Amino acid sequence: MHMMTIAHTDLDVSRVGVGCMSLAGPAEKARAWVDAVLASGVNLFDHADIYGGAGRKERLFGEVLKAEPGLRERMIIQSKCGIRSTGDPTPNAPGRYDFSYEHIVQSAQRSIERLQCGHLDIFLLHRPDPLVEPEEVARAFDDLHKAGTVRHFGVSNHTPVQIELLKKHANRPIIVNQIQLSVAHTHVLDQGIVANQNVGGAVGRGEGSLEYARLNDMLVQAWSPLARGFLSGRPIPPEKEKMNEAAGVVQAIARERGVAAETVLTAWLLRIPARIQPIVGTQNLERLKNACAADELALTREEWYRLFIAGRGGRLP
């Protein structure tokens, strides 16, 4: 697995990372998965305080680190905060987003306690909060960094202008934006080719997200890069029938190249020049191995566009 240094940091991360939302117990099973991930050359583990509800996935991961603390030195650990559940902290509280100073600081501290990891290498704001006060975010980032709680900061599901608003006040670089991106979810790429076109409908595409990342040397992490398995053999339900064409193209290219479908899907992301790091969430070690093999597969421009056109569901303008 090739490594890359995240700009504005000294962090060397694998080209592919893993997501821990589906991490499964008991602790012995989780430990075997962690060992297999590290053996594959992957070193970035992505968490969030809401995974599993009430931090259960972070707590399970923490049991693995508690059993063998030496594993921590081989990992880059990131987590996310900002999504609050219905009923938290009072019964009538709605599900919502919270970028208040208090919530950011407490979330980071609690994630570290659950993960038993000493500090977070990267801490992301999970989804944009319409009530965000960027001065509060900046103060939280500063205090967490000064305390040694968090080394670096980023965001998830943010648009360029939302990032710019945070950067106006932040003293720490925003080094990552984690967004949904796959052959089956191409909106941020579509935006760049449908300008001044009558395409109908209003889809939030995160205008200029990839270009913004390239201009600002930000790492883009792609969540759900394997499209939940629907393009690599999982039965496609009727409401997702538009995926059938893309699945056919993925599997055709996989046969032509003699690789697995997961390898093709991940290689498609790695081919994008905007420094994409796929965050693969599967607990299936064979699928993870296939995704990691994309590090050695270079798709041609023609193959990449075959996948893009099939995934977006229509010819190019």
- pLDDT per position as a tens digit, 250-270: 999 999 999 999 999 999 999
Q: Hey, what's the torsion of the CAs at 129, 211, 3, 298, to 10 degrees?
A: 130
79 CB-near residues (< 8 Å, 6+ apart): 46, 47, 48, 49, 58, 108, 111, 115, 120, 123, 124
- pLDDT per position as a tens digit, 29-80: 999 999 999 999 999 999 999 999 989 999 999 999 999 999 999 999 999 9
**277 touches 222 (CB < 8 A):** yes
pLDDT (average), residues 94-118: 98
pLDDT of 231 strictly over 80: yes
Q: Is 51 a catalytic residue?
A: yes
Q: Which residue is listed with tokens 């798709």?
A: 299
Strand 120-125 with 150-156, pairing:
parallel
The whole-angstrom separation of Cα 99 and Cα 103 is 7
pTM value is 0.95
- Which CATH number is 3-194+205-312 given? 3.20.20.100
6 in helix, strand or coil?
coil
The whole-angstrom separation of Cα 14 and Cα 88 is 36
The whole-angstrom separation of Cα 36 and Cα 59 is 19
**250 touches 261 (CB < 8 A):** yes
**187 touches 224 (CB < 8 A):** no
Q: Which residue is listed with tokens 């993925």?
A: 250
Amino acid present at 66: K
Tokens of 16: 């592919």
- Structure confidence at residue 201 as a pLDDT band (50, 70, 90): low
The whole-angstrom separation of Cα 222 and Cα 178 is 6
Residue boundaries of the structural domains of the chain = 3-194+205-312
Contacts 24+ apart (CB under 8 A), 248-252: 248/310, 249/306, 249/307, 249/310, 250/183, 250/307, 250/310
- pLDDT per position as a tens digit, 136-148: 999 999 999 999 9
Sign of the CA dihedral running 114, 115, 117, 119: negative
Reference 106, options 129, 87, 76, 79; nearest CA is 79
**219 touches 277 (CB < 8 A):** yes
**227 touches 265 (CB < 8 A):** yes
